[in-house]
Structure 1
């Protein structure tokens, strides 16, 4: 090879490496930023939903959401948490209101029996291309738009929204983006995600702190694999389900067994691509506390006194949502709608009926 040819080869190789480094840096920068922007869901929801029947909301021509309903009367939309873990049974606290309220429990897109558009992704589309495809289909904007589409399908000018955990976080974002569509808002043990990161230890920090010493290394290894978003698109959803299911034993060792009566969906019902979709929506850094000021609906925030999440998380929601009220059910942990139905139902009845 001539000197000129060698220089040309080195120049080409250097250019390729520079592009790879620049591309990696760009991807890292984009991962830092939240892909969800306030207003995206409203834009998506401008197109009217298709129809509903006794089992499904057809929110788009190729997207249906499985649901079931309990009770009679004024509609309540229940937003499940996880993310990605739809309930297969109703909440006893809401059942107690069944003479006057009909609660709709739906599987969010990408979970349970709802449309699950992805199994594997095409490596040819590149990591950023697959991030955009996933987040644009199963991310926060589409999830919030689905809530608005359901409101329209139910024929309600305004609807009562009850969200739990991550679902409470989504319900708050929905109420901020669609304030005119929310009658009343209930946030049960809302997730610590208004600002991220923050000074609190968070879910994974709380678990690591409480795990026995002999489980620490295994948990750290699992968490590193779970957070490896750069290689996530090499997996199928079934592989993600197996990976994600390894979290539960760590949770139960650190926090305690899931209480009896709390729904535990089967492995194949969890929406593992949905989890990654909303993670990409949030990015590695965001602060949405200011959005809470857009909420106009009367809001009740419920904290379980024995929850692994500190009360200051619920207090942060109350501090940022105008006119909101905080109550604490002292003996409850993270699932008061199932474990303390009478106490919660009494509080909900008081709040919903302005007593």
Structure 2
């Protein structure tokens, strides 16, 4: 259900409830639980994907949070409005825009500070918001972050090669040699293209992200309850913006707010390489759980405890 209409909802005040607001040039869906103006920085959940939604996290975790929280479907994703076509093409969708959207939500709620809680790709938005707006950020929490996409593409290609029983061949050197001087070699794009040529994206990510089949089925069942599909437009837009070439680690050294990482040891898209970037360069505190990419699915109690610790320590 993408591109919902504002007439579908009744709008309460900013203290709580469902919102479908036109902010920063986009129609954004978010749900607020609790009072975002009570003086304690609310948690703002930033889903991954890219192009996923906040429904499953809210459905499975919301009751365990002890402070006000905002569950945002990011621009073009989930129940937020679709990306719109302009004279220049599709809506701009990049990290700058997603960070601006987040601050527009904070401003709408009247919150002096927020705690960005980013999952997977959403970790980029959380970290960049904290970097740009340290005075508006109480702390930042990321769950199984993705911060270095050429490295992630290499991980995916290694797994696809192993599952197909073929020798791993990294196209990076060939791409660099063929790239004219002064231009950026599209190493990440070449790696991910080779990976998805060996194994489709869904099967590849499932193999790397889930601890077991029961966890994957639980997520699919929750998604089906939410009746939310889509995300392809967002993924395509970000790929066109050079997503697979994006390397965030140099910016991690500029963070001036406390950073906490919750990692699932069975999520090989994030642990250990992606997590290590954040731990080393942002001086982050890391908690590792016996879980996959969605740790609240594997051990709800352990995840809730880790999140409570990250929010209050």
Normalization by structure 1: what TM-score? Answer: 0.63
Tell me, yes or no, if the aligned pair for 2:137 and 2:257 is still in contact at 8 Å.
yes
2:299 to 317, 320, 340: 340
CA-to-partner distance for each residue in 1:199-250, whole Å, 9 max, x for gaps? x654531541343459x9xxxxxx99x969xxxxxxxxxxxxxxxxx63245
Is residue 56 from structure 1 mapped to residue 19 from structure 2 by the alignment? yes
C-alpha root-mean-square deviation of aligned residues, in Å?
3.3
1:255–1:56 CA distance, 2 compared to 1 (3 A): closer
Equivalent residues of 1:111, 1:269 under 8 A apart: no
Instruction: Name the counterpart of 1:102.
Output: 68
Matches within 5 A, 1:122-271: 129-130=88-89, 133-134=90-91, 136=92, 138-191=93-146, 193-194=147-148, 196-198=149-151, 202=154, 204-213=156-165, 247-252=201-206, 257=213, 259-262=216-219, 263-264=222-223, 269-271=229-231
Q: Name the SS of the counterpart of 2:276 in structure 1.
A: helix
For residues 201 and 268 of structure 1, the distance between their equivalents in structure 2, rounded to whole angstroms, comes to 27
Q: CA offset at residue 288 of structure 1?
A: 2.7
Which structure shows the higher helix fraction? 1
Residue 80 (str. 1) matches residue 47 (str. 2): yes
Take 1:287 and 1:311, find their aligned partners in 2: how far apart are those partners? 16
Please state how far the C-alpha of 1:111 moved relative to its aligned partner.
Answer: 1.3
CA distance in 2, matches of 1:184, 1:296: 9
1:252 and 1:318, CA in 2 relative to 1: closer, same or farther beyond 3 A? Answer: closer
Distance in 2 of aligned mates of 1:286 and 1:117: 22
The 5-angstrom pairing of residues 296-315 of structure 1 reads 296-309=256-269, 310-315=271-276
How many residues align? The count is 261
Distance 2:274 2:34 in 1: 31
Retained in 1: the 8 A contact 2:77–2:231? Answer: yes
| 1:254 Cα deviation from its structure 2 partner | 6.4
Deviation of the 1:84 alpha carbon: 0.3
- Determine if contact 1:63/1:109 at 8 Å carries over to the other structure: yes
Distance in 1 (alpha carbons) for counterparts of 2:48 and 2:209: 17
Distance 1:150 1:169 in 2: 17
Does the alignment pair 1:292 with 2:252? yes
Determine the structure 2 residue equivalent to 1:241: none
Q: Which has the larger radius of gyration?
A: 1
Q: Deviations over 1:127-148 (max 9, x none)?
A: xx43xx43x2x32221110111
* SS of residue paired to 1:209: helix
Given the superposition, is the C-alpha separation of residues 335 and 56 from structure 1 closer, same or farther in structure 2, using an over 3 Å criterion?
Answer: same
Question: CA 1:206–1:108 in structure 2 vs 1: closer, same or farther (change >3 Å)?
Answer: farther
Q: Which structure would you say has the larger RCO, counting Cα contacts within 8 Å and 6 or more residues apart?
A: 1
**Cα distance change, pair 336–206 in 1 and its aligned pair in 2 (3 A):** farther
TM-score by length of 2: 0.71
* Unpaired runs of at least 5, structure 2: 1-12, 169-188, 195-199
Q: 1:149 to 1:306 in 2, by over 3 A?
A: same
